[in-house]
A and B are shown apart, each in its own frame.
Chain A
């Protein structure tokens, strides 16, 4: 029997679909860790990104910090936090948060910074306060880029949440880590397939959300602009 058939058999086994180590529970755990990580990382990264994008202050520091965070090895961080804080839910989650901040920060910052300055000037000219400029002009205009950053972050987290199984948490990573520990490639393969499927499905959902969340007027305006004044479009594209 080849590995594909064995994996199919693994999925077909009803024992796989119930109990505290069953696929539904592992899937729910995986999504819960992902959600929690994104919430915390979003609460940190998005305001900072918006502030920097809006004011232009601390741009170099933020870009530098985001790149530096990207370079940290997640598994190393995970072990470090466990050594500092002990076992539990939060040490691995903090390691994932650090991994998730860079794409969210980059999305929020570059989205806001890339908004056409003439629009911002016009908004100020109309007498809008800075908050209004941010909320009513910059944020809606930045949404496509911001959501792009979110999608990248979500994919990254779903794929990486598997590492929390390295130290006593659940999630789909359990199939990978336990399968590796007892040399059971079928279980590892099954876990990998589940993670990949989950990532694809969630990314698909986010793509639809992204499509509907962006103001139709904005999409319209962009199209028109590109058609009528190619130079502006080119500049925008370049940013």
Chain B
């Protein structure tokens, strides 16, 4: 079975320590990097070096806002049914919950028609709490949530302020556990802790493990011997946990379920839109399957070590190549290879026929793909399958989980890749250079991107299918429609240019990246570019050297 990728993490003892204390940032745990801009061959070289070639040391001298791990944690936690989430911090910290006000109930009801909507509570810390501590307010909020709403679980997601003023949320919740009907979950996800939003996945799973998985374990009194029996039984039933992600729609889940049913498997989707009890059911499964390595190695590795449930962390089932690879790995675990091959052959044949007119239309168009590290590489491969070419790539961050899909894609040595969470100033510079015909973009970046005057296909969407074979077909249809008329975006560019000075477009896109780990070659290249002001490496005013005079 494929183990988790990534360096750094060791066996169960180390894992247990990690869980008992707090989650380290992913720059530390996985040596993940957030700042890089250059050709793919250089990135490949860095990823092949020890500690990812110190990509985690890279930074920027100028930066724009992106999202903190609390932002993303709330994105995951707010989807849990029968759960109340308390944001522990000043009132502004909870505002990622906003997107849930209208859609949260509808999306939950897709899974459970009786489900209620979002309950949004903030401990609303103020200046007096910064001096005196916010622990009393937190206790009050937990009691209120328990008495008023009677949820199965109460999650406390902590922002920067409680961490800075020293609130011990874990201890408080431990003390309160006996006095609440709900299970209590502490998620320590203060934003300053990490440059990687994706650390949120670890922070959330850390909380769920402490608050739900362990609690269930105590309750059910599972012993190692009996666990083995249960899992053998489950193996016969073919129960598989598929770890859905926030960027998956219900329609994506339906497609995944269709494919796994064809292999005679039963699917349990966690953690998004699950309810607390689902995490108990999940311990009865015979295999944990990730749909994106960036999301859940922390939880899957722990559960594998602790409960002996094997896990599969490999690729993301988007596009034919990755979907087939993903299905083959799962089928291999259950010795159902023949069924998988039949399924893949049938789907391929159907798709080839259906895609013919779309391929003709899309052939040779150049795409720029931006989003999470795993998703962009498989999406890029899917786009090539549709006949498009790549104009450039942009990843939120980069670590070893990208390796299998990055190698699989083989994007070509000279293709530019930008590693950046948002940072639209770099993107603007790159898009002006590469002039793609279409931009495939993670949500939150779409509005900026529309102002480049080019058509934009969202990288994912709650109302659409992207995964599996159905997803590829739908992407083809939507791309064709987008390219047919993108007047709105053209007019955006015409009437409202982006807010960057003309001089910025003359500079190299990596001009503000600080890269202590870059080899001599890379430094020379950057220096030459900055000093020479050549057309291709453009910095005309020697910006890097004159910065301090400013």
Tell whether A and B belong to one assembly: no
Interface residues of B (CB under 8 A from A): none
Interface residues of A (CB under 8 A from B): none
